[in-house]
Amino acid sequence: MKKIYVVNLKGEKELFSLAKVFRSARRAGASKDLAQKVARQIEKSIYPGIKTSEIFKKVNQFLKKEDKGSSLRFNLKEAMKKMGPSGFPFEKYIGDIFSAHGYDVSLNRKIKGKFAVHEIDFLARDSKTLYIGECKYRTYPGERIDLAIVLGVYAKFLDLKGGNYFRLPKSVELKPMMVTNAKFSSQAIRYAKGVGVGLLGWKYPLNRGLETMIEKEQLYPITILPSLKRYLVEPCSQAKLMLAKDVLEENPDKIAEIIGVERNRILPLISEAKILLGS
Amino acid sequence: MKKIYVVNLKGEKELFSLAKVFRSARRAGASKDLAQKVARQIEKSIYPGIKTSEIFKKVNQFLKKEDKGSSLRFNLKEAMKKMGPSGFPFEKYIGDIFSAHGYDVSLNRKIKGKFAVHEIDFLARDSKTLYIGECKYRTYPGERIDLAIVLGVYAKFLDLKGGNYFRLPKSVELKPMMVTNAKFSSQAIRYAKGVGVGLLGWKYPLNRGLETMIEKEQLYPITILPSLKRYLVEPCSQAKLMLAKDVLEENPDKIAEIIGVERNRILPLISEAKILLGS
């Protein structure tokens, strides 16, 4: 295959990768055949200098025609962007994700360290680890979580560790964890590895990133449903409808009532959630 | 004296203090007699709920009538505010202040720590200490430097200390130092004391704050001169005219030439600098 350069969200040139297109379709749940078909179609239609956002759109269009569920799941990154200015509390969503992975989660705590009182987005504990979690939500794709933020997380962790609050059995390790929907700068990654701050972000760590945690347990945010208008995002999150699957666990009338809209606004959400989750 | 509450820059009520007015006039260089006279005048003219900024104006007016030098020096805090959006590099000014106090200063360095490369605003070294200095300039009075910033400074310091760059004789201590024209939050102060981050800010530490360092060596920023129009602040700082006293060390024609204005714009600056510095 010939080499073609495309332009990513940061505005940098990068080599076009057919494998990436194939993998992204597969990750959204497309069959091998469909993913291959999509990749071939994309290969035909790209040109040097095409934006990755344009390729994204094309993939989505092909998927939509062939497999609606895959095209819905393919929009996860966009769905994260819709959380943005809308009052969808990112740290609460992250809490739900850790809960679903078997952690005991507690949100928005104030805890006294050795020298200062710190605000903590979440604590997540399992039998081996107690994570002190800090969340950073970013609206713009291509933004990076930089070194300065991770420095702050580490110093906060040291002060908390030095305080009297956490008295853990030796079998449980106290660890700092930084969670974001964005990516990390290379300096931030190098530093975090060095001092032992756990990082969880978009496609980071590779194959164990936030998107994998979401996809594995189908913890798609409700913002992934195309019929969810922006003005409904905040009422939904206040009604604890954070996940797409939440709309399947209550009857439509009840949902309509707690959000304060008409029933016919809820029905399309339910049918989209069913397609998305293949149920 | 009766108790009167005034409203400070943060919008909080505080008890009016005649002693404070007296001290502020004294600090600006007013004689004891003049400072007492000012305090008496202020006492007569205040009323419950008056803003401290209003009291500040009144003091300034009284001083102006009686002792022009004091009224110029009294404006130091306002002069710091004029640095703001104008391209007056605060860290360079701070570097000048440390230099004048006998430190070897180096500005805007990139230094490799144990795990990351850090940007450092200044290094200041004397026989006992090498300060790793971080500067934060704030335009709005009443803003506080909070815990998050000091956490970052400390983690950066730890990483730098752990790296190979600083090889110091045992007699020289490596210390982090945070410098600002603002004040610090109480959490930031408690934490900084605990971990050993030096803080230098407005009236902090008490009687050894930034304003004292400036006043002691008459290192007033050029922005304190009333005739310095805003559009001249950046050209001045680029021409290394950072301090009021700098305009007395070169002849007016030369200054006019490097800044790129007419000579008659420079003459009032010079006469103001003379009054300010009592020379």
CB pairs under 8 A between A and B: 51
**What is the model's pLDDT at position B141?**
65
**With an 8 Å Cβ cutoff, are A151 and B156 in contact?**
yes
Q: How close B230 gets to chain A, by Cα (Å)?
A: 32
Q: Is residue A80 part of a domain?
A: no
DSSP 8-state symbol, A180? E
Q: Judge whether residue A14 has pLDDT over 80.
A: yes
The whole domain housing B62 covers 5-68
Q: Is residue B74 part of a domain?
A: no
Q: Is residue B78 in a domain?
A: no
Residue B153 is predicted with a pLDDT of 98
Mean pLDDT of chain B: 91
Q: What is the mean pLDDT of residues A232-250?
A: 90
B101 shares its domain with B206 = yes
Domain at A235, CATH number: 1.10.150
Q: Inform me whether the pLDDT recorded for A2 exceeds 70.
A: no
Instruction: Tell me if ipTM is over 0.85.
Output: no
Do A95 and A180 lie in one domain? The reply is yes
DSSP-assigned letters across all residues of chain B: ----EEE-TTS-EEE--HHHHHHHHHHTT--HHHHHHHHHHHHHH--TT-BHHHHHHHHHHHHHHH-HHHHHHHTHHHHHHHHGGGT--HHHHHHHHHHHTT-EEEEEEEEE-SSSEEEEEEEEE-SSEEEEEEEE--SSTT-EE-HHHHHHHHHHHHHHHHSSS----TTSEEEEEEEESSEE-HHHHHHHHHHT-EEEBTTBSTTSSHHHHHHHTT--BGGGSTT--HHHHHHHHHTT--BGGGGGSS-HHHHHHHHTS-HHHHHHHHHHHHHHHT-
What's the rounded Cα separation, in Å, for the pair A258 and B139? 45
Q: Are residues A261 and A157 part of one domain?
A: no
Question: Amino acid identity of A181?
Answer: N
For residue A1, is pLDDT > 70?
no
CB contact under 8 A, A194 and B151: no
Does residue B19 register a pLDDT over 70?
yes
Interface of B with A in 231-250 (CB under 8 A): none
* Under 8 Å between Cβ of A193 and B114: no
d(CA B191, CA B195): 6
For residue range A126-178, what is the model confidence (pLDDT) as tens digits? 999 999 999 999 987 678 999 999 999 999 999 999 999 998 999 999 999 99
Across the interface, do A115 and B152 touch by the CB < 8 Å criterion?
no
Number of domains in chain B: 3
Residue with the bigger pLDDT between B91 and B9: it is B91
Element (H, E) at A57: helix A52-66
- Domain check: are B127 and B204 in the same one? yes
**Is A41 a member of any domain?**
yes
Residue A230 has a pLDDT of 85
Q: Say yes or no: B168 contacts chain A, CB-CB below 8 A.
A: no
Instruction: Name every chain A residue with its beta carbon within 8 A of the beta carbon of B147.
Output: 116, 118
**3-state SS, residue A199:** strand
Answer yes or no: do A103 and A149 share one domain: yes
In a domain, A58, yes or no: yes
**Nearest residue in chain A measured CA to CA from B157:** A151
Q: Which pLDDT score, from 0 to 100, does residue B93 have?
A: 93
DSSP-assigned letters across all residues of A122-146: EEEE-SSEEEEEEEE--SSTT-EE-
Check CB contact under 8 Å for B115 and A151.
no
Q: Do residue A100 and residue A182 come from a single domain?
A: yes
Answer yes or no: do A131 and A244 share one domain. no
CB contact under 8 A, B152 and A155: yes
B187 contact residues in A (CB cutoff 8 A): 116-117
Do B199 and B236 belong together in one domain? no
pLDDT score for A141? 65
- Indicate whether B106 and B39 sit together in one domain: no
Q: What is the pLDDT of residues A17-34, one digit of tens each?
A: 989 899 989 888 899 999
Does the beta-carbon distance from A194 to B116 stay under 8 Å?
yes
Q: How far apart are CA B119 and CA B277, in angstroms?
A: 35
**pLDDT tens-digit series, residues B224-276:** 998 898 888 888 988 889 999 999 998 899 999 988 888 888 999 999 999 99
